[in-house]
A and B are shown apart, each in its own frame.
Chain A
Amino acid sequence: MSLVKPFWHTNNFIQGFKKSSIVRFKRIINKGRFMRKGMHLNYGITTLLLCCFIFFTSCQREHLYRETTIMMDTIVTITVVSDSKKAAEDAIEHAFNELRRLEKSFNFYSEESELSMINRNAGVRPVKVSKDMMDILKKAIYVSELTGGAFDITTGPLTRLWDFNKKNIPDGQKIKEALKLVGYKNIIINERNSTVFLKKKGMLIDLGGIAKGYGADRAIEVLKAEGMKAALVAIAGDIRAYGVKNNGSPWMIGIKDPRARGDDDLIATLPLKDSAISTSGDYERYFIKAGKRYHHILNPSTGYPADSTGGVSVIAGAGYLTDSIATAVFLLGPEKGIKLLRKHGLKGLFITEDGKRFSTGDIDGIRFK
């Protein structure tokens, strides 16, 4: 009565199994007994567990869910990875609501906004502000210091003068006067009383250069709290990524070609993992008068649009950083801009109008087209 062992009864084959299974199998083989009391129960349980495992991994397949809305004067797209459609939709809705709430508070153009309340009281009295306002103002001032004033949220008086819809170049004298009101150092923050005071009458804070990136950060926080395993928030070109996609690959971001007309003409693509990217360019909002291009990125020290550098993309850990620093390094130009980025350990890429590239040289996985 000699039974020929099937190949899967050999020790080598069994090595690949879990330890408990190996022990069990060895016991069976060594003792030459195939059946012992309770053994079929063990196998039954093992098979059942295995089936359950496979059932759950196959049924709870994670999907990408994406929704787009118009907010903050631009297109906001949120993509999440979730195993439940309902959970994904709820999470995205909550993130949108958070952005709506922030927009209401940060809006430069609405008289009802918290920001306008601060601006109206410039030179008059300190204004008690919300936690969100305190947070974004502190971050903005931090970036101003980081960039030596190249980024400044007090350019509101200049923003008022330059109307990019009317395509008018403001009067030089008016620009000079407005410039006197620009200076982030005149924002007085009192954290203990949660108040903000603008020292000079006529000062205006405009959060346009930081609010979108900041919003992307906050939206990601909401999505995380809602249990999303991964998410991508894109508020126009200010993008914040969290986690990896359901197939295990990182979120892929395309950088628009500054010279291209079409929306999908990309100059490069790169993976983004738990960080943010923003691009500042002179090709989004501008007008051309007497052969000169006037774009929306105003230099806080001259009051005029910065010299054209094409576009610059900045990668950092948070959206508020990339949004504001991209604006700052755009103003500084490729040479000084790259230097500044390197100094603070940030990554960036300039693409000039004639297609020249200047980069910090450490952007992982970037591919040029």
Chain B
Amino acid sequence: MGLGLNRKAFSLLDGALITSLLVISISGFIFMDKFLPDSDSVRVEVDGRLHGIYPLFEDRLLTVHGPIGDTVIEIKNRSVRVVSSACPNKLCVHQGFIKRGSIICLPNRVVITIGVSSVDAITG
């Protein structure tokens, strides 16, 4: 039994094993996503005041006026992003679409949070 054959088989087998392990671990992220609660509202605050709460499942484009200027927010496919902003560094724009968490634009004092509503329905 030559070493060459062993080495070849070793790499093939382990390749498969490593690939599957890799795939499993990546899928872990997908499953994690599944177990995290579905958020369903977008809360927009400007300069410390609530501008509005919008449903995450309804696509829309809205413009808010901050101390520096306008911030354009887009809700699309259950994600939120800042399309354009009057702020100098544009960090909020570069953050792109988010599905949970928040986008904060400090210069223009805009805080966008994807909130988890604590209840699905209200009785009474």
Enumerate chain A interface residues (CB-CB to B < 8 A): 1, 3, 6, 8, 28, 32-35, 40, 43-44, 46-47, 50-51, 54, 57-58, 61, 63-66, 77, 79, 232, 234, 237-239, 245-249, 251-258, 263-264, 266, 269, 277-279, 281, 311, 313
A255 is contacted by which of B6, B10, B57, B123 (Cβ under 8 Å)?
A: B123
B30 contacts A252, CB within 8 Å? no
Interface of B is mostly: helix
Q: Which chain B residues lie closer than 8 Å to A63 at the CB level?
A: 38, 78
B124 contacts A245, CB within 8 Å? no
State the Cβ distance, A212 to closest chain B Cβ, in Å: 11
Is residue B95 contacting chain A, with contact meaning CB distance below 8 A?
no
Q: Which chain A residues lie closer than 8 Å to B26 at the CB level?
A: 54
Enumerate chain B interface residues (CB-CB to A < 8 A): 1, 3, 5-6, 8-10, 12-14, 16-17, 19-20, 23-24, 26-27, 30-31, 33-38, 40, 55, 57, 78, 118-124
Q: Which chain B residues lie closer than 8 Å to A79 at the CB level?
A: 120-121
A-B CB contact pairs (8 Å), 5 listed: A3-B10, A54-B24, A58-B27, A245-B120, A252-B119
State the Cβ distance, A245 to closest chain B Cβ, in Å: 7
A254 contacts B27, CB within 8 Å? no
A1 contacts B6, CB within 8 Å? yes
B30 contacts A54, CB within 8 Å? yes
B38 is contacted by which of A8, A237, A245, A281 (Cβ under 8 Å)?
A: A245
State the Cβ distance, B18 to closest chain A Cβ, in Å: 9
Q: In the complex the two chains form, what is the Cα distance from A245 to B55 in whole Å?
A: 18
State the Cβ distance, B100 to closest chain A Cβ, in Å: 12
State the Cβ distance, B27 to closest chain A Cβ, in Å: 4
Q: In the complex the two chains form, what is the Cα distance from A40 to B120 in whole Å?
A: 50
A6 contacts B14, CB within 8 Å? yes
State the Cβ distance, B33 to closest chain A Cβ, in Å: 8
Q: Which chain B residues lie closer than 8 Å to A64 at the CB level?
A: 38, 40, 57
Closest to A85 in B: B57
B13 contacts A28, CB within 8 Å? yes
Q: In the complex the two chains form, what is the Cα distance from A277 to B119 in whole Å?
A: 14
Q: Which chain A residues lie closer than 8 Å to B14 at the CB level?
A: 6, 8
Most buried by B among A28, A239, A254: A254
Q: Which chain B residues lie closer than 8 Å to A257 at the CB level?
A: 124
A278 contacts B20, CB within 8 Å? no
Closest to A251 in B: B120
B23 contacts A254, CB within 8 Å? no
Residues A8 and B17 in contact in the complex (CB < 8 Å), given A3-B6, A35-B5, A58-B30: yes
State the Cβ distance, A2 to closest chain B Cβ, in Å: 10
Residues A248 and B35 in contact in the complex (CB < 8 Å), given A1-B6, A254-B123, A269-B119: yes
B123 contacts A35, CB within 8 Å? no
Q: In the complex the two chains form, what is the Cα distance from A277 to B37 in whole Å?
A: 23
State the Cβ distance, A23 to closest chain B Cβ, in Å: 15
A254 contacts B118, CB within 8 Å? yes
Q: In the complex the two chains form, what is the Cα distance from A245 to B57 in whole Å?
A: 16
State the Cβ distance, B66 to closest chain A Cβ, in Å: 27
Q: In the complex the two chains form, what is the Cα distance from A13 to B17 in whole Å?
A: 12
State the Cβ distance, B105 to closest chain A Cβ, in Å: 27
A1 is contacted by which of B3, B17, B38, B78 (Cβ under 8 Å)?
A: B3
